Amino acid sequence: MTRQTPDAWRVAGFAILAGGILGGVTAALESRLRPWRVGEFSIASVTADAPVAEATDAYFNFGSMKVEESGSHEFIVRNTGASPLTLRRGTTSCSCTVSDFEESEGGAPEGRKVVPPGGSTAVVVKWKAKPPGGPFRQQATITTDDPRRPELVFFVDGIVVPNWKAVPPAVMVRASASSGDSRTIDVFTFGESPPEVRKVSIDHPQAAQFFSLATTPLAAADLAAEPSASGGFRLAVDVKPGLPLGPLRQLITIDFDMPEPTMAQIFVEGSIGGDLVLLGPGWDSSRRALMLGTVSGKTGHRSQLFLTARGPHRGSVKPVVREVVPDSLQVTVGAADEIGDGNVLRLPLEIVIPPGSRPANHLCSQQGPAGRIVLDTGHPDTPELVIPVCVAIGP
């Protein structure tokens, strides 16, 4: 008796039929066990008696608000389903808060709201206008147990009108150790009445001796540059000679009434130059600091800077190291060389962190303030030169 082997066409047909049946059964089982998802919402487990969350309005514009002014808006959430709807406070943006969830409502534990079928509740979104001003847009999220709509997102926006505005926003100066600089800046105010300046001060008492500060009311022609301003004043800043070389950043505080007490803070920024200039590998001219980075305390580190001196007092420049931070820094001043036609002198500074140095963090950050090299230069206009050092010494 001979055995017949099924031909290839029969085998293929049977495989297709079996695969189709098996695939259909699998899909049916998965559709029963795994809910369909549309975006972020699960709808497979929805039943006829499920709660239904509806909010006809999810956006509110506060319009124009003054700095520190507070506003609130009630968004109404309705339950059009057949079961109680539970609401919980979700995430909010940093300046937006949702209230009325602290006290229990409808028998719900604190932090929740339960809305009965056919009922409604108010979700209060609060916003406080914060400086410096300008347009804002914030959001608040409420979670629900409505399987069709597990989240309700409410948006608020508007414009914060500042109490004051500085034009330009900062006082930019460029002075030298032997000569100062003078700058002005206009401060426009938006209060109920023109400002009355009570006090003008600078944040660093030791730097105050190098600054002269004065204010004068803005004329009507100057106020026309800011049509919505109710008043303003002009701040005059005179920088006197004698500030140390390097970057300059000081904060000026102006206290005034309009009629409520108000405070404006404006930065004075720039750099103090002179006959002495630092150059070399690792020197960051924008940050005005020696960037050594992280070095190994086992192997140590060696680098070099060059101090150039020009002008009529260049021959008197004979640097002496007065202070170093961290104390493991070793700084050696080399002999001066003439550059070009002799109008510039160059002095090498050898900077060494010897092997075996103790760990230290001076990476010019909030956690690790800058180290420094302090030189007595001998220059009559710049007798002291402070070189910031950004370095961390590892184990």
How far is it, in rounded angstroms, from Cα 202 to Cα 254?
9
Pick the CATH number of 53-161 from 1.10.8.50, 2.60.40.10, 2.30.30.100, 3.30.1550.10: 2.60.40.10
The Cα angle at residue 364 between residues 361 and 367, in degrees rounded to 5: 55
Looking at residue 46, what is its pLDDT? 62
SS3 256: strand
Cβ–Cβ contacts within 10 Å for residue 274, how many?
A: 23
Residues 349, 304: contact at Cβ < 8 Å?
yes
Q: ∠ CA 364-367-371 to the nearest 5 degrees?
A: 35
Q: Is the peptide bond before 244 cis (omega within 30 degrees of 0)?
A: no
4, 36, 111, 201, 209 from 171: Cα distances, Å = 99, 60, 49, 14, 18
What are the structural domain ranges in the chain?
53-161, 164-273, 276-394
Q: Are 202 and 249 spatial neighbours (Cβ–Cβ below 8 Å)? A: no
DSSP string over 229-255 = -SEEEEEEEEEPTTPPSEEEEEEEEEE
* φ, ψ of residue 249 in degrees (nearest 5): -155, 110
pTM of this structure: 0.49
CATH number, domain 276-394, options 2.60.40.10, 3.40.50.450, 2.40.160.60, 3.40.50.150: 2.60.40.10
Which pLDDT score, from 0 to 100, does residue 119 have?
A: 92
Amino acid present at 338: E
pLDDT per residue as tens, the chain (395 positions):
444 444 544 534 444 444 444 444 444 434 333 333 333 444 445 677 889 999 888 999 988 887 778 888 889 999 999 999 999 888 776 566 776 665 444 444 456 888 999 999 888 888 888 766 778 888 888 899 999 999 999 998 888 878 898 999 999 988 876 678 899 999 999 888 899 999 999 887 667 788 999 999 999 999 999 888 889 999 999 998 877 666 788 999 999 998 888 899 999 998 777 788 888 989 987 777 899 999 999 999 999 999 999 888 889 999 999 999 999 999 999 999 998 888 899 999 999 999 999 999 999 988 899 999 999 999 887 888 889 999 999 98
pLDDT tens digit sequence for 14-36: 444 444 444 444 444 343 333 33
Q: Which residues of 157-166 are buried (b: 16+ CB within 10 A; e: fewer)?
A: ebebbbbbbb
Quote the CA–CA distance of 354 and 173 in Å, as a whole number.
39
Assign 315 to helix, strand or coil: helix
- The pLDDT, as a whole number, for residue 62 is 86
Handedness of CA 379, 381, 386, 387 (dihedral sign): negative
pLDDT in tens, 87-114: 988 877 656 677 666 544 444 445 688 8
pLDDT of the residue at 29: 39
Query: Cα–Cα distance between 283 and 275 in angstroms, integer?
Result: 17
Tokens of 26: 């699998």
Query: b vs e for 19-38, b when ≥16 Cβ sit within 10 Å of the residue's Cβ?
Result: eeeeeeeeeeeeeeeeeeee
What count of other Cβ atoms lies within 10 Å of the Cβ of residue 188? Answer: 22
Give yes or no on whether 53-161 and 164-273 have one common fold: yes
d(CA 288, CA 271): 9
Closest Cα to residue 50, out of 76, 75, 86? 86
CATH fold for domain 164-273: Immunoglobulin-like (2.60.40)
Give yes or no for a contact between 382 and 308, defined as CB atoms under 8 angstroms apart.
Answer: no
Q: How far is CA 372 from CA 220, 244, 282, 292, 361, in A?
A: 49, 14, 14, 12, 12
Give the number of other Cβ atoms within 10 Å of residue 62's Cβ: 19
pLDDT of amino acid 260? 84
Residue 130 is predicted with a pLDDT of: 76
Nearest to 272 by CA among 247, 289, 249: 247
